[in-house]
Structure 1
Amino acid sequence: MQRLNREFNISLKNLPIKVVQFGEGNFLRAFVDYAFEVLNDKADFNAGVAVVQPIEKGMVSLLNEQDGLYTLFTNGIRDGAEVQEKILVQNIVKGINPYETFNAFMSLAREKELEFVISNTTEAGISFDENDTQEMQPPNSFPGKLTLFLYERFQYFKGSKDSGLTIIPCELINYNADTLKTIILKYISLWGLSGDFKHWVLNACTFHNTLVDRIVPGYPKDDIEEYDGQLNYKDRLIVSAEAFFLWVIEGDANLKEKLPFHKTDLDVHIVPDMQPYRTRKVRILNGAHTAMVPLGLLYGNETVKDTVDDSFTGAFIRSLIFEEVIPTLEMDKRELEDFANDVFDRFRNPFIKHQLSSIALNSISKFKVRVLPSLLSYVQLKKGLPLKTVFAFACLIRFYHGQWKEVDLPLNDDKAIVDNFKKLWDLPNLSSTVREVLGNIDYWETNLNNVDGLPEAIEMALNHLEANGVEEGFKRFMDRYK
């Protein structure tokens, strides 16, 4: 079978470089490069992508062997039905490893039609390294590399405002663009770069915070023969992703004009403030994940799909989200419910085996960020307890006992937290355990014993859990509040 490259596909267009992308991994290829492919197809965007390898070891050489081409397979559930699609992504013009060809990297800054910088260098990538210098080829950090890159462009185009770039990071940290800009300004100061350059960065370039959402398992090594069988060429860079796609970018009418995603059917929102979308994702998608882990594991489920498909646990989590989380959020109710329905479709995806044990990591801190705000908001709004969330909280506390029905549970948290829970579960009575857990300011940043009725409800739920198991325990717990 012939290898995938541009000789194999001689009809492919030569695209001008409009995008420089820091990162060549699965996510960017299944998300950003796919999005620009759709823009090219549906909006005649005519954008080529130059990929920069952000660390010394990477995949750019393999990407260049295939002339930037690869196949994206999307699998999932949409409106209750299975969908499977594939697309040949063909907009990557070149890949550059700046550790081997630094001059080629810097030459990208001189591309006249360049408009955008995209990145996904992992959450740790947007960081300041005080050891980076202007003379390094290249600096260690991604922001250091980008500072040099922008300075080269500033000098080459003599500081013209038209040469400024639109910078859209996709790293999974809140306020990712604001953080990146702050670090670039630190390098400008550290390296003694000119005030004119700083002015150009602040006024000619724009930085846009983002929220990205798509599960990308990546190269389907366990099922590669099945995927290969759908192609008439050999592709070593196949990437698989779920069907769901969401990209929220902070921006104005100018950015909407630059990125005409409204001409496509992609779920891209260019909005003045992305924080409501982030809150929606954290409270609904991440909150559902975090709430279901201890409940599902104590119940005997192994995967997310098991949990949402089960008649008891599935109904429990769905009710928790629709009846106790969504009412606490300020966005349009219909939009929230549509998003939640999409989330449950994603949870049911038969092509992704998401182990509950793998998302049990750091469940205490996750509960604080993802679930607890919904509980506290519900109490404030409804003047009562969200009982399913309370029961899920009790399951979390019971999970940190470490054993259930003489079986070790997959605790995966900071050793200090695990050790502390061992001590708390050794206290002489359950009431003491509950009150010590709820009163731990380090865990929750507040004393939850002050939430009216919460300590008593948690203790009651734990008693029913212990005596009757998860399903019957929940029924009896709810009966007490009828």
Structure 2
Amino acid sequence: MDLLNYDVLAKSGYEGYVCKEAPVRVLQFGEGNFMRAFVDYFFDISNEKAGFNGKVALVQPIAQGLTELINKQEGLYTLYLRGSENGEKVDAKRVISAVDCCLNPYDKADYDKMMAIAASDDLDIIASNTTEAGIAYDPSCKFEDVPANSFPGKLTQVLYTRYKAGKKGVVVLSCELIDNNGKELLKCVNQYIDQWQLEESFKTWVNEENIFCSTLVDRIVPGRIRDPKEVEELEKINGYHDELIDVGEIFGVWIIEGPEGLEDRLPFKKAGVNVHVVPDVMPYKHRKVRILNGAHTGFVLGAYLAGFDIVRDCMHNDNVAGFMNKMLNEEVIPTLVDHLDENDLNAFAAAVKDRFNNPFVNHELMSISLNSTSKWKARNMPSFLQYIDKNGKLPVCLTMSLAAYIAFYSNDIQELTDAGLVCKRPAGNTYTVSDDRWALEFFYEHKGESEEELVKAVLGNEKMWDQDLNKIDGLTDAVVADLKMIHTEGAEKAYASCL
């Protein structure tokens, strides 16, 4: 079967939207599955729906990457967005044609092509996702390196070329998974300007003529289809061979922090996609962390003890799903309404329930359980404490969730190994808790204690919580009672008692 390219696509009978020719308006650092299923998807829709008329030139951030493969397919690849939407199964296929080419800047010819794009009148946007470690200042980078090894160093070189060509500033959309990603990227660029002793006028141009946006990205991207039989069946249907098939969940939202007027400069609002420019991205980060991530951490530990193994099955159980829904709707969302619209929060929570019910993803509870001590502190404790401050009482579900965390980490402890803390599930099989070593050693040291002794020790561990939670009125007794219920009646009935 022929490898996908424009001629092969035309012969295959594909009837979807295709943009073969357009100027390169976006330079994108990062060519992996996530960016192709997220950023390039939104630009592809913008070409179709908003007349963006722009191509994306991808740049692989490190010396090894997908450049050769992407160029063989002329930038084309098949994207499947799969999941559950409003309770209905969705499996949507689209051939993405927004990508112009991929460049390996460690090759001198491609480096020169990258700089030609940098100096182009057409360039308006630079996007990036170079992993969390990508936004880092490496003082070993030199201005004359071809290219600078760090991503911020490469970006400084690109911006300097653009400045020297006398071109306008660009919009920089940073998608790396760190707080204030855009601000941190600009900070690194300024460090290179100072280290390399570049003109003060260039520094002024970078900081005043370019817009560095912190952004929040949200789409689960499994990437490749792992079943070769499924790939073979899809390629028979498609009529071509595709080495770059990509898969993401149907849900996707991109929150971009930027000034007034930026939304009109970007094509996404006109395209009608789920991309929004806001003055401050942090409330939306709190929304994601507390609702999406907090829901996971809030119910999975007890659900695993109750006999469940994957998230989707939990959503088909009235007690576990009901527990999660009550936790989100009555305890978490009310703590966020001061900063975000309640209808928006409810819609996001409804989408979370669809995402957890994704029929294409077997999301294992044990994979979510990794490092639950720090996760509970970061994802659930802010809602827990704010609920108490707001209502003067304990949140029933979040309190039970804290008891379930203790139960998961202490259930019939067998041994402490290099791999983690080995516990026994009520069903009889063992499982290994993975977390920071000090947290595992703490629970191992307290094995065999009564519920009262264990709860008091956990709540009083200030290394875990940065405070003594025993001081919260009524919490110790409530967690003890919940833990005893989990032990005597099982986690599912304990969750049901909250309803």
2:452 equivalent in structure 1? 431
Q: 2:178 aligns with which of 173, 177, 201?
A: 173
1:8 equivalent in structure 2? 8
1:271 equivalent in structure 2? 278
Q: Distance in 1 between matches of 2:471 and 2:489?
A: 28
SS of match in other structure, 2:293: helix
TM-score by length of 2: 0.92
Q: Distance in 2 between matches of 1:473 and 1:82?
A: 31
Q: 2:355 aligns with which of 319, 323, 346?
A: 346
Q: Distance in 2 between matches of 1:362 and 1:116?
A: 37
- The unaligned stretches of length 5 or more in structure 2 are 11-17, 411-422
Q: Distance in 2 between matches of 1:129 and 1:438?
A: 41
Q: Distance in 2 between matches of 1:264 and 1:188?
A: 36
Q: Distance in 2 between matches of 1:58 and 1:123?
A: 17
Matches of residues 91-240 of structure 1 in structure 2 within 5 Å?
91-101=98-108, 102-157=111-166, 160=167, 163-222=168-227, 223-240=230-247
Q: Distance in 1 between matches of 2:112 and 2:328?
A: 52
How far is the alpha carbon of 1:105 from its aligned partner? Answer: 2.6
Q: Deviations over 1:84-113 (max 9, x none)?
A: 211111111111001123222322211221
How far is the alpha carbon of 1:303 from its aligned partner? Answer: 0.7
Percent identical residues: 41
* Contact 1:292/1:307, CA 8 A, preserved across alignment: no
* Contact 2:303/2:491, CA 8 A, preserved across alignment: no
Matches of residues 451-462 of structure 1 in structure 2 within 5 Å?
451-462=472-483
Number of residue pairs aligned between Structure 1 and Structure 2: 473
1:444 equivalent in structure 2? 465
SS of match in other structure, 1:229: helix
How far is the alpha carbon of 1:461 from its aligned partner? Answer: 1.0
Q: Distance in 2 between matches of 1:397 and 1:69?
A: 49
2:39 equivalent in structure 1? 32
Q: 2:63 aligns with which of 45, 52, 56?
A: 56
What is the identity, as a one-letter code, of the residue corresponding to 1:118? Answer: A
Q: Deviations over 1:19-51 (max 9, x none)?
A: 000000011000000100011101110011100
SS of match in other structure, 1:45: coil
Q: 2:95 aligns with which of 88, 91, 95?
A: 88
- The unaligned stretches of length 5 or more in structure 1 are none
Q: Distance in 2 between matches of 1:83 and 1:468?
A: 38
How far is the alpha carbon of 1:252 from its aligned partner? Answer: 2.9
What is the identity, as a one-letter code, of the residue corresponding to 2:295? Answer: A
Q: 1:464 aligns with which of 462, 465, 485?
A: 485
**Given the alignment of the two structures, is residue 250 of structure 1 paired with residue 250 of structure 2, yes or no?**
no
What is the identity, as a one-letter code, of the residue corresponding to 1:276? Answer: P
Q: Distance in 2 between matches of 1:294 and 1:12?
A: 47
Q: Deviations over 1:231-253 (max 9, x none)?
A: 11111111111111111111233
SS of match in other structure, 1:350: coil
How far is the alpha carbon of 1:282 from its aligned partner? Answer: 0.8
Q: 2:327 aligns with which of 320, 332, 343?
A: 320
* Contact 1:461/1:474, CA 8 A, preserved across alignment: no
Q: 1:20 aligns with which of 27, 43, 53?
A: 27
**Given the alignment of the two structures, is residue 301 of structure 1 paired with residue 308 of structure 2, yes or no?**
yes
Q: Distance in 1 between matches of 2:432 and 2:330?
A: 29
What is the identity, as a one-letter code, of the residue corresponding to 1:238? Answer: I
Q: 1:419 aligns with which of 419, 424, 441?
A: 441
Q: Which moved more, 1:62-71 or 1:272-281?
A: 272-281
Q: Distance in 1 between matches of 2:163 and 2:460?
A: 54
SS of match in other structure, 2:5: coil
Q: 1:68 aligns with which of 75, 82, 104?
A: 75
Q: Deviations over 1:326-351 (max 9, x none)?
A: 11112222221111111101110101
SS of match in other structure, 1:98: coil
SS of match in other structure, 2:102: strand
How far is the alpha carbon of 1:431 from its aligned partner? Answer: 2.1
Q: Which moved more, 1:102-111 or 1:455-464?
A: 102-111
Q: Distance in 1 between matches of 2:225 and 2:388?
A: 45
How far is the alpha carbon of 1:164 from its aligned partner? Answer: 0.8
Q: Considering only aligned residues, what root-mean-square deviation do their CA atoms show, in Å?
A: 1.6
What is the identity, as a one-letter code, of the residue corresponding to 1:370? Answer: R
Distance 1:92 1:425, change over 3 A: same
Q: Distance in 2 between matches of 1:179 and 1:443?
A: 28
Q: Which moved more, 1:365-374 or 1:404-413?
A: 404-413
Distance 1:150 1:434, change over 3 A: same
Distance 1:96 1:299, change over 3 A: same
Q: Distance in 1 between matches of 2:19 and 2:289?
A: 40
